[in-house]
Amino acid sequence: MKKSITSLLIFCCIAPLWSQVGINTTDPQATLDINGTIRVRDFKNSIDNDAIAVKIIGIDEDGNFVQVDVDENVILEDNKLRVVENRYRIAETTTITVGTVHNLNLVILPGEPNDDKKVIKIRTNESSLEITGIKAGEDGQTLFLFAVDGTIKLLGNNNNSDPENQFLMSASLVVKQYEMVQLMYDATLQRWLVMDN
C-alpha cells in the first residue's frame, strides 16, 4: 500500500511536466496556449546580454508562431535585416553559327554549368538569329538573353521546337544588338513567358 501511494505521488508530481498549459482556455492545443494578447514587460536588449537572433518568427492565421523564411538576398546579421544587392552572374554561350535554332539548350537546369547564371550572352556569326524555343527551365526560373552581336528574333508558339520549350507569344520579338529580353519559365503553362524587353 505504501509503495502504491508513493508511486501515485510521484506520478502526480511528474505528470504536469508533460501536460499542456492554457491561459484563458480549458482546452490547450499546444504546450503553451494563450487565448488573449501577449505583452512583454521586460525585454533585454541584445547589446546588454549578447543575445543574437538566428531566426525570424511570425504568426499564422491560426495564431501559431511560425518561422519566417527570407529570400536569399535578405540576411539576418547582428540582429538586423540586411538586403544584399542583386548581382546577376553572366554566362557566355558558344557562338551560334546557324540562322535558326530550335530547342536551344542553355544548360541552366540544376547541376548544369549555367544553373546560377541570370544573363546569357548570345553571340552569332549571322546578322540575325532566330530562336524558336529554349530547353525548358524550372518553374519560375528567370533569365536575360543579351544580344552581343547582331539581332535575336524569338518566334512565338513555333512548332519547330518542342511544345514545352516554346515562347508563349502571339508574334515574334526582336532583341537588337546590346539589348536584353527577360524570360520566365511557367511549368503550369509549360512555356517561356516574356517579362520585359
62 near 35, Cβ under 8 Å?
Answer: no
Pairing of strands 80-83, 100-101: unpaired
Distance CA 133, CA 76 (A): 40
Q: What is the pLDDT of residue 42?
A: 72
Domain locations along the chain: 1-39, 41-85, 90-196
Residue spans of beta strands (DSSP E) within 62-133: 65-67, 74-77, 80-83, 90-92, 100-101, 119-122, 128-131
pTM: 0.59
154 near 131, Cβ under 8 Å?
Answer: yes
Distance CA 196, CA 70 (A): 25
Q: What is the pLDDT of residue 153?
A: 95
Query: Element (H or E) spanning 32, and its range?
Result: strand 32-34
Compute CA distances 87 → 91, 118, 159, whole Å.
Answer: 13, 9, 35
| pLDDT beneath 50: ranges in the chain | 8-9, 11
Q: What is the pLDDT of residue 8?
A: 45
